[in-house]
Amino acid sequence: MKVMFIYLLLVSIAYIFAVIFFMFVYLVIRKMLRNRRARKKVAYYFYIYPKVIEHIKVDGNPRLFEIRKHWKREVVANVLLEAVSTFKGREEIRRINLLCDDIGLTDELEEKVRDKRWWVAAEATRMAGRLKLERLTPVLLENISSNHYDLWTSSARALSHMQHYRSLIQFLFENEDKLQRWSIIRIIDMLKNLSEDDVEYVIGKLKDVSPFLQGLFIEILGKSRAHAALIPIEDYLDSDDMEIRVKALRAIASLEMTTRPEKIISFLESESWLERLNAILVIKSCHLKTGMKGIVPLLSDNQWWIRYRAAETLYSLGSSGIEKLKETRMIHEDRYAREMAERILYNHSN
Amino acid sequence: MLADIFHVFNYFIFLYVIIVDGFYLLLFLLSFKQVKEYLKQSPYSEIKEFSLSNLTTPISILVPAYNEEKTIVHSVYSLLQINYPEYEIIIINDGSKDGTMEELQREFSLSELPIYALRKQIDTHPVRKMYRSTKYPSLIVIDKENGGKADSLNAGINFSSYPYFCSVDADSMLEPDSLIKAMKPMFEGGENVVACGGIIRVVNGCTVENGYLKKVRLPKNKYAISQVIEYLRSFLMGRIGLNSLNNLLIISGAFGIFRKREVLEVGGYSVSTVGEDMELIVNLQKHLYKQKSDAKVLFVPDPVCWTEVPEDFRNLSRQRTRWQVGLLQTMITHKDTLFNPQYKSMGLLAMPYFLFVELLGPTIELLGLIFVTFGLFFDLVNIPFAVLFFTFTLLFGVFLSVSAILLEEYSFRKYEKVSDLLKLLLYSILENFWYRQLNAIFKTWGFVRYFKKDTGWGVQRRKGFNVDQTSKSSFNQH
């Protein structure tokens, strides 16, 4: 028995020793090779950077960038990714796309976007989106229906980079029941700067979708500052669904204009603190001085955020609002109202 | 008779080592798999998108500070440069006796605030004053009476405005993207993540400029280098491995993110232990089990917090005995969870692991060494067997350390120089001949401290960050 134990231990020691030795050698050689390659990449980056930038700014000779080595293509791709965050013009983007075609990057990314390994496809999708490679749009539209969360979210993000908002909106309308709420919110967050056509399309469809999606689109219309949507959004102030009313108030606050001030002011007396809060926000953003009278009692509201926003709004309404705050600080019967007025006046005195 | 007892103990040690080493091997394999998965995701996850999004949840950063005059300013600057859309920094000066408060006053132009109507959700020691920086409005300083780290964090929670908070040690620095990377699981997981921790790395030896980490290098001090390897082993292997089993029972106090709602539900940080970080996570996990919630505590390997580690025997011994006392207090407080099927894998796997491996392991190892020496002296030991077994355990220790370095090189590669890698590899061998045993002694001493009821924090001396002097002028211009 003891002999067997000793034999087993000897074998184990020999194995572990061999494994450690192999790991040592592997780690050191890998590190040396990696550092050598990194140095080469840095040198090439500094060499190629001005040429690429020059090419983007002024039409150049594409042959300059005939690149066969994969690592060199990686460096140029990185330069291009940096460039797209600076060069936003249509002509410059066209040249970036041409350059991608010339060095074979578009083909490489197209192949990768179709790859079955989701992480390869997702990474290629991210690059395609940032480089605005329109040629890959059909594949991205296919991938948006992928079952893999990471792949479809990166496809959605890429499409939003390329401002294909309509595709995303259609995707949401058609797949709402299949998507998790959080995923829908993520996509909605990508929809910024909707075009006039997109706004019109959303307004046209708004009545046919679920209240959840309605609320989100109302909010996004507000954030996109789509003034054409003001009247349809204001119609939702009469909705039976409290959440929709709140979203409509929030959107109006973002649009900074309203045609129904009395309706907005009536929300200051709502039983829902969310409605009261968002009505205050609208009064502030639309500078509705007629709302001041309704705001003063909210300085002693039982919700901290309401007291805070009410005091902030009074301050923003100019000298008469500030006077109300000073008065509250001195003589209001409620301690919380006095302290909030004090706090806001103090904050603005610095 | 003596020989029989000796043999039984030997067999026990033998079995114990085999089981524990087997478990470590399993953790390594699980960690490798999880790191691989994480690396697949990281290239295309758009951190920038989260940092610009209105949907990104605002967060309060809580920094308890007690006698931190040497590091506090750099820590605050590193926090001010965090890439996050909306956050507030709350420094809680826990009755420091050094110049911590004066340093903050001088550097950040603090202006006293009226202590506004506060929802005191957790009882704490009295708060003396509250300040806001006139240079950086998101920076708030609370000056309170000394009550310990847990009490300070509780005070910070009372003053925090946002639904999530992040606890950061005052001798630590976050990388600019750390917060957003650590919060990412919360955005993606929605309601399912209650707490999330990141990796802690050793800042000793690195160069800091304007609150930024300018150069990552290995420290020169032997205690600090050994801790670099220990931290890699502990975080890249231990935490990631336990995380993949959904059995995380600790998020380091130096850097952890929590959802305030659940923390308030469990009563905040416990002030009766010196291991408040583990105590909170165990409390949270128990709470989640009782609520039958599917929410999780997660560990993400990429968000980095750099922290200063002790560089001498005295400070290291204080820190390690304190950690051991904290662990022991938590194990005793939550003994009801041990082998309790009601707590599923936490009761049947994680708690026993912490008891037999983390708490008792070092002491059992030390006893094993003493017994073998004793056996050799009285000729009770089969010498070839003892030598081989000792060699096996040492080699396995080296294997685990090298595996942690392998994980690091495979994933994040913070140390760029080949010379640093060689140094790490060399120390991964050397530490098995002194640091490991030293740690075992400190941890065993932790039991003595506990039974002597010496369970205070003790004095921890800071050396301060290695600041690039050329940057000092620009630092002052902020």
pLDDT, one tens digit per residue, over A287-302 is 999 999 999 999 999 8
Q: Give the pLDDT score at B472.
A: 35
**Domains in chain B, ordered, with CATH?**
21-356+459-476 (3.90.550.10)
The reported pLDDT for the residue numbered B11 is 82
Do B249 and B342 meet the contact criterion of CB atoms below 8 Å apart?
no
Q: What is the pLDDT of residue A70?
A: 87
Q: Please state the three-class secondary structure of A170-227 as a single string.
A: HHHHHHHHHCCHHHHHHHHHHCCCCCHHHHHHHHHHHHHCCHHHHHHHHHHHHHCCCH
Q: Does A189 touch chain B (CB under 8 A)?
A: yes
- What percentage of chain A reaches a pLDDT higher than 90? 61
CB contact (8 A) between residue A20 and residue B43: no
Q: Which of B172, A315, A136, B362 is nearest to A295 (CA)?
A: A315
| d(CA B178, nearest CA chain A) in Å | 21
Q: What is the mean pLDDT of residues A64-74?
A: 80
Q: Among all chains, which residue has been given the structure tokens 């609320």?
A: A215
pLDDT at A65 over 70: no
Residues of B in contact with A223 (CB under 8 A): 54
Chosen for mutation from A119, A151, A303 (greatest number of chain B CBs closer than 10 Å) is A119
Picking from B369, B167, B443, B187, the residue whose alpha carbon sits closest to that of residue B280 is B167
Interface test with A, best of B11, B24, B44 (most A CBs within 10 A): B44
Q: Which chain A residues are closer than 8 Å to B114 by Cβ?
A: 339, 342-343, 346
The interface pTM score, or ipTM, of the predicted complex is 0.86
Per-residue pLDDT at A129 exceeds 50 = yes
The answer to whether residues B277 and B188 touch, using CB atoms and an 8 Å cutoff, is: no
Nearest-CA neighbor of B240 among B364, B84, B403? B403
Flag whether pLDDT at A137 surpasses 90: yes
Q: What is the pLDDT of residue B478?
A: 30
**Chain A with chain B: Cβ pairs closer than 8 A:** 90
Which of A113, A189, A345 is the mutation pick for testing B, counting most B CBs within 10 A?
A189
| pLDDT confidence band for A59 (50 / 70 / 90) | low
Q: Which residue type sits at A344?
A: I
pLDDT at A263: 95
Please report where in the chains the tokens 């290239």 appear, as a residue.
Answer: B43
Predicted pLDDT at B46:
66
- Straight-line distance from the first to the last Cα atom of chain B, in angstroms, rounded to the nearest whole number: 74
Q: Collapsing DSSP states into helix, strand and coil, what is residue A122?
A: helix
Cα separation of B336 and B333, whole Å? Answer: 8
Residues of B whose CB is below 8 A from A119: 40-41
Residues of A in contact with B55 (CB under 8 A): 185-186, 189
Which strands, in side-by-side order, build the sheet including B164-168?
A: B110-113, B127-133, B139-144, B87-94, B59-65, B164-168, B255-259, B193-202, B296-307, B172-174
Residue B116 is predicted with a pLDDT of: 62
SS (H, E, C) A289-340: HHHHHHHHHHHHCCCHHHHHHHHHHHHHCCHHHHHHHHHHHHHCCCHHHHHH
Q: Could you read off the pLDDT of A142-170 as tens digits, one per residue?
A: 898 888 888 888 899 999 989 899 999 99
Residue A304 is which amino acid?
W
Nearest beta carbon to residue B398 from set A20, A27, A335: A20
Are B409 and A27 in contact (CB < 8 Å)? yes
The answer to whether residues A105 and A111 touch, using CB atoms and an 8 Å cutoff, is no
Q: Identify all chain B residues contacting A77, using CB atoms and an 8 Å cutoff.
A: none
Contact B395 A17 (CB under 8 A): yes
Distance from CA of A63 to the nearest CA of B (A): 30
Q: Does A135 touch chain B (CB under 8 A)?
A: no
pLDDT of residue B469: 42
pLDDT at position B54: 67
* A223 in reach of chain B (CB within 8 A): yes
B2 touches chain A (CB under 8 A): no
Confirm or reject contact between A305 and chain B (CB < 8 A).
no
Q: Return all residues near B43 (Cβ < 8 A) that are at least 6 apart.
A: A123, A126
pLDDT score, position A61: 60
Residues B150, B267: contact at Cβ < 8 Å?
A: no
Domain residues of chain A, as ranges?
11-103
Average pLDDT, integer, range A312-320: 93
Measured between alpha carbons, how far is A299 from A291 in angstroms, rounded to an integer? 13
pLDDT at site B119: 65
478 residues of chain B, pLDDT tens digit each: 777 887 788 788 888 988 999 999 999 999 999 999 888 876 656 677 777 776 678 899 999 999 999 889 988 998 999 999 889 999 999 999 999 999 999 999 898 877 765 667 899 999 999 998 888 888 999 999 999 999 999 999 999 988 899 999 988 889 989 999 998 888 776 558 999 999 999 999 999 887 788 899 999 999 999 999 999 999 999 999 999 888 899 999 899 999 999 999 999 999 999 889 999 999 999 999 999 988 899 999 888 999 999 999 999 999 999 999 999 999 999 999 999 999 989 999 999 999 999 999 999 999 988 888 888 888 887 888 888 888 999 999 999 999 999 999 999 999 999 999 999 999 999 999 999 999 999 999 999 999 988 766 665 566 666 655 443 333 333 3
Answer whether A66 touches B (CB < 8 Å). no
- Closest residue in A to B414 (Cα–Cα): A31
